[in-house]
Amino acid sequence: MTTPMNTINNRLPIGVFDSGVGGLTVLRALRELLPGEDFRYLGDTARLPYGTKSRESVVRYALQSSRHLVAQGVKLLVVACNTATAAALPDLAEAYPGIPVVGVVRPGAKAGCALNTNGRIAVVATESTVQGGAYQAAIRELCPNMRIEAAACSLFVALAEEGWTEGPLVEGIVKRYLDPLFARFDDQPPTSLVLGCTHFPMLAGAIAKVAGEEVTVIDSAVTTAQEVRELLVRHGLGHPEPDRLDAKTYFFATDGRERFARVGSIFLKRAIDPAEVTIVDL
């Protein structure tokens, strides 16, 4: 049965899910932009990474993760995973027609186009996201004449999870990825660079430093949070006390409570006690 959006209780939390901890960069951006909102975050850590799974499996996992959040009561769903966004967004929208569903791909592509000044966009992501072409397709839909080049930057994930986000070593690795990517544009470098993985905002400072002042780095976590805020306003779903100080965030994982808390603390930039993480079986 469809629930009209105007009947959703605006005091309900926002549901966010990912295959692991990368989506916590999205949660962090959401908490900064919407401090009065409650959140429920689910990391499907038992089955990560989604990028190596078939589309059918990713859709099934996404529906199971979202079902857990919806069953608890949420007013909006955020798919804080590039693979799940690319594979399952239409299925999620169909499954929950009364709840707004936001993915991470289109907001990043939209900002990449809007902030571009020379018709050239670069995308950095994981190998599966680059090969799947979700960002390329979204950018072409929004700005058909844009020149797009994408590169898989697999080491960025490991660096982010280790908390190695700045310094000469990190900048050297970033340069090894960006130099050949930018060289593909031949005549002039891109003026916008989209971070197409939720881990990559952790390295945004180093990436921006290597890319140079002429390149605008698009943080897909921030752009997704902005999209969520716009949807809340459009549908009248914002919390009636947006400046309250007692907003709460609840964490769920499908495996590895201690690792989720340890690595998640790096991504969220605030300590997560393992006792805050509830293990669930989807």
Question: Which residues belong to the annotated binding site for substrate?
Answer: 18-19, 50-51, 82-83, 198-199
State phi, psi for 15 to the nearest 5 degrees: -95, 135
Which residues in 168-185 are b (16+ Cβ under 10 Å) and which e? Answer: eebbebbeebbeebbeeb
Q: How far apart are CA 80 and CA 103, in angstroms?
A: 6
Which residues in 19-56 are b (16+ Cβ under 10 Å) and which e? Answer: bbbbbbbbbbbbbeebeebbbbbbbbbbbbebbebeee
**Which SS3 state, helix, strand or coil, does residue 16 take?**
strand
Q: Is the peptide bond prior to 4 cis by the omega test (within 30 degrees of 0)?
A: no
Catalytic residue among 113, 143, 153, 197: 197
Q: How far apart are CA 206 and CA 145, in angstroms?
A: 29
| Residue 103 near residue 85 (C-beta atoms within 8 A) | yes
Question: Is 197 considered catalytic here?
Answer: yes
Q: How far apart are CA 260 and CA 215, in angstroms?
A: 33
Question: Cα Rg for the chain, rounded, in angstroms?
Answer: 18
Structure tokens at 52: 């190596």
Q: What is the DSSP letter of 200?
A: G
Question: Is 153 considered catalytic here?
Answer: no
Q: What is the DSSP letter of 117?
A: S
**What dihedral do alpha carbons 124, 125, 128, 132 form, nearest 10°?**
-60
Catalytic residues: 81, 197
